[in-house]
Amino acid sequence: MLLEQICIYSAVLLLCGMVVYFYLKKEKKASKIVEAKIEQAKVDGIHEPVSLYPAINLDSCIKSGACVEACPEKDIIGILDGRGTLIKASNCVGHGACFHACPVEAISLVIGTAKRGVDLPHVSENYESNVEGIYIAGELGGMGLIKNSVEQGQVTVENIIKSGLQKDYDGYDLIIVGAGPAGIAASLMAKKHGLNFLTIDQYSLGGTVFNFPRSKIVMTAPMNLPLHGKVQLQETSKQELLDLWTDVLAKNNITIQDKTKVDSIQPEGSGFLVMTNRNQELSTQKVLLAIGRRGSPRKLGVPGEQLEKVAYRLLEPELLSGKKVLVVGGGDSAVEAAMSLVEENEVVLSYRKDAFSRIKPKNRERLNYYVGKDKLEVIYNSNVMEITPTSVDIKTQTGRRRVLDNDLVYIFAGGELPTQFLQKAGVEITKRFGYTMRKYG
């Protein structure tokens, strides 16, 4: 009997030992895969975060891997030697799925690193700036994902209502500046609560989304729109998203005043006086800034940039054919614009660095395909020196000059934070290093 028990115990121990052995072997193999991905991410220049990214508290992390499985972008987070770690941090779009999936809340969304700060306006827990009555929602405040911006737009209007509005005010209750995701959601919420409001945009409906190339796929997540309900979108085209917003606004009799740029916001009595480029003087109790972070497009500052053939966004690439086009820039917008034109035009892509370090994997794959098929020429380490009506002069890092025949130039050099506009309105801006953002959802 004793011998039989010893045999059973030995068998159990052996079985447990084998389970542990194979588990550790599997974990070691998985860690090697993650380690290889990290090394490749470093080579590709996408290991370090550039905007929002998940910060993992290793003291509370239980290494469940739930964050890895939850991330729709894939390979942002991995498990290395039993510890959560970042892989392709610069690909993070800040939707917070990893945070919601973590069973012990060991993940926070952070913007800026210890070495690289990010300029952010002061925003309170209620999305109010340091100027009482001026609120900020969406990309300008650091959270640019569509779903997060939509949620912020709604919550901000609710906070504005809670703060108290005069019933007999001679002017608007609220002026919403920006008709992107946050501005649209805020407009719907203002309509729902019967506010006297006006929504304006210096361009047109859609904000940043409107500036995407037409073929761009917008990654988003299910979200709730006031006066509409739940929107189930995982992958959609820019046009489908714009059509949805246009339809919802039309059904609720909301008109966006487009092509209107706010020049200044000045205190006036118990509210504000909003001055626009249309010589309008608009009185309002509250202001919601949902204008994004880019403000005006960043220019190259070279001779000829003022020519009509130069543009900073590509809206309808399918209308261009037989043109000699130069696209300038190294981000996803530049790469996507160039690729959307290659089938019908002669396209050259100029980038000031020696490699594209911050583009999505799918874009990198497509770019390599077009370059390999000689449908797209990429000139690395190059800068535009001059633009003429019929050509562009490009200088490489080695000093070599190339003059290209050219019909159109598209510049995607990013945008500049509207610092002067914000400071003129009294909004404080601080450079944040490793700043933890609030959680959403």
Q: How far apart are CA 170 and CA 165, in angstroms?
A: 12
* Predicted local confidence at residue 180, as pLDDT: 86
Residues 288 and 301 in one domain: no
> 2 vs 10, 16, 212, 329, CA distance in Å?
12, 21, 76, 78
- Structural domain ending residue among the three candidates 66, 93, 111: 111
Domain with residue 170: its CATH number is: 3.50.50.60
Beta-carbon contacts of 261 under 8 Å, excluding residues fewer than 6 positions away, are 202, 276, 277
User: Which of 1-5, 8-12, 401-405 has the highest average model confidence (pLDDT)?
Assistant: 401-405
pLDDT tens digits, 182-213: 999 999 999 999 999 999 998 777 666 666 65
- Structural domain ending residue among the three candidates 58, 89, 111: 111
Residue 101 has pLDDT above 70, yes or no: yes
Residues 406 and 277 in one domain: no
The size of the chain, in residues, is: 441
* Predicted local confidence at residue 95, as pLDDT: 64
* Predicted local confidence at residue 312, as pLDDT: 86
13 is a domain residue: no
| Number of compact structural domains in the chain | 3
Residue 289 banded pLDDT, cuts 50, 70, 90:
very high
Instruction: Look at 289 and 81; give whichever has higher pLDDT.
Output: 289
pLDDT tens digits, 32-65: 888 888 888 887 777 888 777 888 888 888 888 8
Residues 39 and 91 in one domain: yes
The percentage of residues in the chain with a pLDDT greater than 90, rounded to a whole number, is 39
Residues 196 and 146 in one domain: yes
Residues 104 and 157 in one domain: no
Residues 49 and 130 in one domain: no
Residue 186 · residue 290 · CB < 8 Å: yes
Residue 278 · residue 260 · CB < 8 Å: yes
Residues 285 and 351 in one domain: no
Residue 410 banded pLDDT, cuts 50, 70, 90:
very high
Residues 224 and 371 in one domain: no
Average pLDDT, integer, range 389-416: 90
pLDDT tens digits, 157-184: 999 999 999 988 999 999 999 988 899 9
Residue 428 · residue 121 · CB < 8 Å: yes
* Predicted local confidence at residue 440, as pLDDT: 44
Among 71, 45, 54, which residue's Cα sits nearest to residue 360?
45
Residues 145 and 261 in one domain: yes
166 is a domain residue: yes
Residue 329 banded pLDDT, cuts 50, 70, 90:
very high
- Please, what is the average pLDDT of the chain? 84
* Predicted local confidence at residue 120, as pLDDT: 83
- Tell me the residue range of the domain where 198 lies: 119-295+418-436
Instruction: Look at 358 and 347; give whichever has higher pLDDT.
Output: 347
Q: How far apart are CA 346 and CA 269, in angstroms?
A: 57
* Predicted local confidence at residue 441, as pLDDT: 43
Residues 241 and 131 in one domain: yes
Q: How far apart are CA 369 and CA 374, in angstroms?
A: 9
Residue 71 banded pLDDT, cuts 50, 70, 90:
confident
Domain with residue 102: its CATH number is: 3.30.70.20
| Alpha helices per DSSP H over 90-225 | 97-101, 146-163, 181-192
The answer to which of 22-26, 35-39, 277-281, 383-387 has the lowest mean pLDDT is 22-26
Residue 122 has pLDDT above 90, yes or no: no
Residue 349 has pLDDT above 80, yes or no: yes
